[in-house]
């Protein structure tokens, strides 16, 4: 068993692959290793060589931030880390979209969670879960009453942000890059097989989650609102998770240089990783309109599904 867990851990550390991006046949595979999402560490340190604090233990999470990629999952996790009754996992796990060894890996999964006190709740975030065809059923099998957090932003802006991240990743790794229009359009038509577009079909992915969880167990965080005014969104999350209100306005300050809110807690100030908040490229207006038109009906379907609307263009 020990040798299996070691091998499993090595496999995961080497595999930060985006899962299948669209549930419909013909749109991707269960393993997709392109454009991995770099994961800067959360500001929670654990010395694996030291003894755990007395009275703490490792447990499977009480709540999971399931996505969406480039929707603000890192910001949400870092902001929830302010709360004294929250313990956050320090790394993304990409566990529930595995094709193999799922049952044997639960012990390993629990071991990656932070030490927490009985009065604390543990939260893990892996944005690829939302688009994974396997994650909903497997998370439900682990804990059918778990509370799920889904942070979404304007799906068109999310596509552009997705492209921007991959663009800079490729530049940093000295790989060739393409203009966003070349990826969005093929032979004069919108390239709906482009994975960044597939990830923004919120209704397609949400339908899979609602097969396994009632809507009441999935709290949708408005990622656009979290950027511009974080406190109201975090207060809603506190209520959803049945946490006492501990996050206050003084926990945030606007950084003029970065152009977004940063965090102030425990006498420290910190901002998100430098990879966050990168300027988006300008997109040809005709191509942008094609993208918005395609996503519009998917957005309407999603609004009906979740009984809520958002001010997405």
* CATH value at residue 214: 3.40.50.300
Token readout for 2 is 């020990």
**Residue whose pair of structure tokens reads 């997705």 in the numeric block:** 162
pLDDT band at 100 (very low <50, low <70, confident <90, very high): low
Token readout for 232 is 């109201």
Percentage, residues of the chain above pLDDT 70: 81
Q: What mean pLDDT value characterizes the chain?
A: 85
Q: Is 296 annotated as a binding residue?
A: no
Over residues 132-147, mean pLDDT: 95
- Domain coverage including residue 250: 12-31+55-306
48 in a domain, yes or no?
no
Which residues are bridge partners to 65 per DSSP?
Answer: 125, 149
Considering only 184-188, 207-211, 279-283, which range has the smallest mean pLDDT? Answer: 279-283
293 in a domain, yes or no?
yes
Considering only 23-37, 142-156, 298-312, which range has the smallest mean pLDDT? Answer: 23-37
pLDDT band at 36 (very low <50, low <70, confident <90, very high): very low
Confidence (pLDDT) at 108: 86
Give dist(CA 21, CA 131) in Å, integer.
Answer: 5
6 in a domain, yes or no?
no
Token readout for 291 is 């993208």
Domain count, the chain: 1
Told to judge if 70 belongs to the known catalytic residues of this protein, a careful annotator would answer yes
**Contacts with 80 (C-beta within 8 Å, 6 or more apart), sequence order:** 86, 88, 123, 234, 237, 247
Q: Is 72 annotated as a binding residue?
A: yes
Considering only 274-278, 280-284, 292-296, which range has the smallest mean pLDDT? Answer: 274-278
Q: Is 186 annotated as a binding residue?
A: no
Of the candidates 24, 58, 70, 125, the residue annotated as catalytic is 70
C-alpha distance from residue 78 to each of 116, 153, 259 (Å): 16, 17, 17
2 in a domain, yes or no?
no
pLDDT band at 273 (very low <50, low <70, confident <90, very high): low
3 in a domain, yes or no?
no
Give dist(CA 261, CA 105) in Å, integer.
Answer: 37
Confidence (pLDDT) at 287: 97
Q: Is 55 annotated as a binding residue?
A: no
| pLDDT tens digits for range 38-74 | 433 344 434 444 689 999 999 999 999 999 999 999 9
Q: Is 278 annotated as a binding residue?
A: yes
CB 197 within 8 A of CB 186: no
Confidence (pLDDT) at 93: 85
CB 231 within 8 A of CB 261: no
| pLDDT tens digits for range 143-190 | 999 999 999 999 999 999 999 999 999 999 999 999 999 999 999 999
C-alpha distance from residue 192 to each of 19, 123, 277, 295 (Å): 17, 33, 26, 10
Is the whole model's pTM more than 0.75, yes or no? yes
């Amino acid at each position: 068993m020990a040798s299996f867990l070691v091998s499993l851990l090595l496999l995961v550390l080497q595999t930060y692959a985006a899962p299948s991006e669209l549930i419909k046949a013909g749109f991707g595979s269960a393993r997709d290793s392109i454009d991995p999402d770099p994961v800067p560490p959360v500001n929670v340190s654990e010395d694996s060589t030291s003894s755990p604090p007395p009275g703490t233990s490792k447990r499977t999470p009480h709540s999971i931030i399931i996505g969406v990629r480039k929707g603000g999952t890192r910001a949400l996790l870092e902001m929830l880390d302010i709360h004294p009754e929250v313990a956050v996992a320090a790394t993304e796990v990409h566990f529930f979209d595995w094709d193999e060894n799922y049952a044997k890996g639960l012990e390993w999964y629990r071991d990656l969670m932070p030490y927490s006190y009985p009065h604390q709740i543990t939260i893990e975030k892996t944005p690829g879960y939302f688009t994974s065809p396997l994650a909903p059923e497997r998370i439900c099998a682990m804990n059918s009453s778990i509370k799920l957090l889904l942070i979404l932003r304007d799906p068109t802006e999310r596509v552009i942000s997705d492209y921007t991240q991959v663009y800079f990743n490729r530049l940093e790794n000295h790989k060739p890059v393409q203009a966003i229009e070349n990826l969005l359009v093929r032979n004069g038509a919108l390239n709906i097989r482009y994975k960044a577009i597939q990830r923004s079909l919120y209704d397609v992915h949400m339908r899979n989650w609602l097969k396994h969880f009632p809507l009441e167990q999935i709290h949708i965080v408005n990622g656009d609102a979290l950027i511009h005014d974080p406190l109201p969104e975090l207060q809603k999350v506190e209520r959803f998770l049945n946490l006492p209100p501990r996050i206050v306005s003084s926990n945030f300050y606007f950084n003029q240089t970065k152009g977004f809110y940063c965090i102030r807690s425990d006498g420290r100030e910190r901002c998100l990783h430098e990879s966050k908040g990168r300027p988006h490229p300008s997109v040809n207006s005709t191509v942008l309109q094609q993208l918005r038109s395609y996503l519009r009906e998917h957005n309407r379907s999603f609004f009906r599904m979740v009984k809520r609307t958002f001010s997405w263009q």
